[in-house]
A and B are shown apart, each in its own frame.
Chain A
Amino acid sequence: MKNYEEMARDVLSRVSEYESEQKLKRARITRIAAAATPVCAAAVIGAGIWASGALMHAEKPAVSEDSGIISETVTVTESSKSANTGSSSAAVTEKTTRRKEQEEATVATSEEESARAGAPWKPDPDKEADKTNEEVTASEETSEPAEQTEAETQANSDETTAAAGEHYLWCIFCSTIEWNGITYNDNAELDVSVYTQDKYIGKVSDFKGTYKDSVNYIINPDDSVYTTKENQYVLLVVKSEPYPFYGSVIAMTNPEYLNGVVPKNDNTDDQVSEDEVVEYNGVLNGILF
């Protein structure tokens, strides 16, 4: 039999053993909780974001806008092929199939105009637009585009203006106005400084043609249209809100009446003045000697 001291010693040692076990258990639980909490929190936040659809909204515009343009390009290309070959059974997406009839009509007009004009306009101001871009622009360049195409263009323009502006700047559509039975296209290759404004003949919105209140169009409805003293087949459109990219005055010409027009001298940028040569030589001397 144990006396009370022995029993007390045993009891106290068992009590302290139990307490140290409890401490270890608590520490282990704390460690597991500390490791699991951030993971769970991240999962909950992720699920919350996913459920709220924030990620979907963030991705949607980029995908839809880009894919919209690309699919449109495909559509136009396929439609062009169909028009050229006379085959109407091109394997394209459902979207393409739905739009085919309207696009064919559009392309027909576009091809006709391109043939007449010899493609005088430049759709891409950076001069680096690829073939696809040109095709897109060509397809959109119609004097009287189909209603649905116009609606789509409007939708694209609105999206562009509202969303990102410069993100879609490369997608510039050819603008036209009709005056005295002649269709005038915007002509960026013309030297505007040679011509002087003569008579104010109205706002762009007063004329039939292809234009929109959007940065994707070179001329907008509020712009003013003037004749020129130098050439009756050259009109000047003065922009109401000059956009640095296009300039404040846009020349409009008809491809069939280009006799006597003065083109822009593209090589001016490459010409080096004498002062620059001297300065350059001075710097070169300073470096070499």
Chain B
Amino acid sequence: MDNGASSYRRFRDNGDESGLVEIIRDYKDGLILYLTSIVGNIQTAEELAEETFVLLGTKKPRDKGGSSFKTWLYTIGRNVAIDYLRKYRKRTFVTLEDSAELVSEEEEIESAYLRKEQQLTVHRAMRKLSPEYQQVLWLIYFEELSNKEAARIMRKSVRSVESLLYRARKSLKAQLEKEGFDYEKL
């Protein structure tokens, strides 16, 4: 399993569109949830995930090979999200009705992506943390990336990611305890 690198090469070098379809199938939900932790809005995250795949299809960037395809894809997604935030941060607002709708959509994708009940509980508790804590926890506990890979995606050093992860776990623990969950059992 090469985490989609061969599918992307097939698309980029031979113009095989099914390669891109496979990448979308495998990484769509995870990327949307990750981008949600950045932009705080699942609908926007979905648009940004689509933008990320369009960017792969049009610019056809070359993977430098320093990391896995997933890390590279998430890095692109994060850059797209940050660009979006720079452009539209001031204009982004969500009405209460939209907010309720978005929460239900997020729950749908959560339950589809996160099969285990425990993961669902933790993820919902995570939404109340700061975006950086959400990102690092998502990448390491849900996407099961290493500290190094998470650092690469977040454009931080491994040391600062480790520090960030420590504080994020502490914050998550406090949040879960506040909600009556036994963090030690997770």
Partners in one complex: yes
> What's the Cα separation between A19 and B28 when bound, in Å?
23
Once the chains bind, are A8 and B58 in contact (CB under 8 Å)? Answer: no
Asked if A14 and B109 make an inter-chain contact with CB atoms under 8 angstroms apart, the answer reads no
Q: Is the CB of A15 within 8 A of B50?
A: no
CA distance A18 to B17 in the complex (A): 15
A1-54 residues with Cβ-Cβ distance < 8 A to B are 1-2, 4-5, 7-8, 10-12, 14-15, 18-19
- Residue B85 interfacial (CB < 8 Å): no
Report yes or no: A15 in contact with B54, Cβ–Cβ below 8 A. yes
CA distance A170 to B25 in the complex (A): 96
Is there contact, CB below 8 Å, between A4 and B24? yes
Known: A1-B46, A8-B20. A15 touches B58 (CB 8 A): yes
- Shortest beta-carbon distance, A183 to chain B, in Å? 98
- What are the residues of chain A within 8 A of B17 when measuring CB–CB? 12
Contact with A along B99-128 (1 / 0, CB 8 A): 000000100110000000000000000000
Within 8 A of B (CB), among A140-159: none
B174 within 8 A of A: no
CB distance from A7 to the nearest CB of B (A): 6
If A1-B109, A4-B25, A4-B28 touch, whether A11 touches B46 (CB-CB below 8 Å) is: no
Q: Count A interface residues, CB 8 Å.
A: 13
List, in ascending order, chain A residues with CB within 8 A of B25's CB.
4, 8
Decide: A11 and B109 in contact? CB cutoff 8 A: no
* Per-residue interface assignment for chain B, residues 47 to 80, with 1 indicating a CB less than 8 Å from any chain A CB and 0 otherwise: 0011001100110000000000000000000000
Rounded to whole angstroms, the CA-CA distance of A170 and B57 in the bound complex is: 82
CB distance from A246 to the nearest CB of B (A): 86
B20 A12 Cβ-Cβ under 8 A: yes
Which secondary structure dominates chain A's binding surface? Answer: helix
Q: Which residues of A contact B28 (CB under 8 A)?
A: 4, 7
B53 and A11 contact, CB distance less than 8 A: yes
A263 smallest CB distance to B (angstroms): 100
Pick from B21, B49, B57: contact of A14, CB under 8 Å: B57
Give how many B residues have a beta carbon under 8 Å from the other chain's beta carbons: 17
Q: How far does the alpha carbon of A7 sit from the alpha carbon of B25 in the complex, in Å? A: 9
B58 contacts which chain A residues (CB < 8 A)? Answer: 14-15, 18-19
Contacts of A12 in B (CB 8 A): 17, 20-21, 57
Interface residue ranges of A204-236 to B (CB < 8 Å): none
In the assembled complex, which residues on chain A have CB atoms less than 8 Å from the CB atom of B49? 7
Q: Given known contacts A4-B25, A19-B58, is B105 in contact with A11 (CB within 8 Å)?
A: no
Shortest Cβ distance from A14 into B: residue: B54
User: A10–B57 Cα gap in the complex (Å)?
Assistant: 11
List chain B residues, Cβ under 8 A from A2.
Answer: 46, 50
Residue of B nearest to A21 (CB): B58
CA distance A21 to B20 in the complex (A): 20
**Smallest CB gap from B53: residue in A:** A11
| Contacting pair B108 A1 (CB below 8 A) | yes
Q: Give Cα A8 to B11, complex, Å.
A: 13
Contact A15 B24 (CB under 8 A): no
Minimal Cβ-Cβ distance residue in B for A19? B58
* Bound CA span A8–B21, Å: 6
Which residues of A have CB within 8 Å of B105? 1
Nearest CB of chain B from residue A236's CB, rounded to whole Å: 98
Return A187 CB to nearest CB of chain B, in Å. 96
Is the pair A11, B20 in contact by a Cβ cutoff of 8 Å?
yes
Distance from A135 Cβ to chain B, minimum over Cβ atoms (Å): 84
Q: Which residues of B contact A4 (CB under 8 A)?
A: 21, 24-25, 28
Asked whether, in the complex, the Cβ of A11 is within 8 Å of the Cβ of B24, the reply is yes
Q: Besides the contacts A1-B105, A4-B21, what 10 more A-B pairs have beta carbons closer than 8 Å?
A: A1-B42, A1-B46, A1-B108, A2-B50, A7-B50, A10-B50, A11-B50, A11-B53, A12-B21, A12-B57
Instruction: Give 14 pairs: A residue, B residue, CB < 8 Å, sorted on A.
Output: A1-B105, A4-B21, A4-B24, A4-B28, A5-B21, A7-B50, A8-B25, A10-B50, A11-B57, A12-B21, A14-B54, A15-B20, A15-B54, A18-B57
The 8 A-B pairs of least Cβ separation, nearest first, read: A15-B57, A8-B21, A4-B25, A18-B58, A11-B53, A8-B24, A14-B54, A4-B28
Chain A interface (Cβ < 8 Å from any Cβ of B): 1-2, 4-5, 7-8, 10-12, 14-15, 18-19
B residues apposed to A, CB below 8 Å: 17, 20-21, 24-25, 28, 42, 46, 49-50, 53-54, 57-58, 105, 108-109
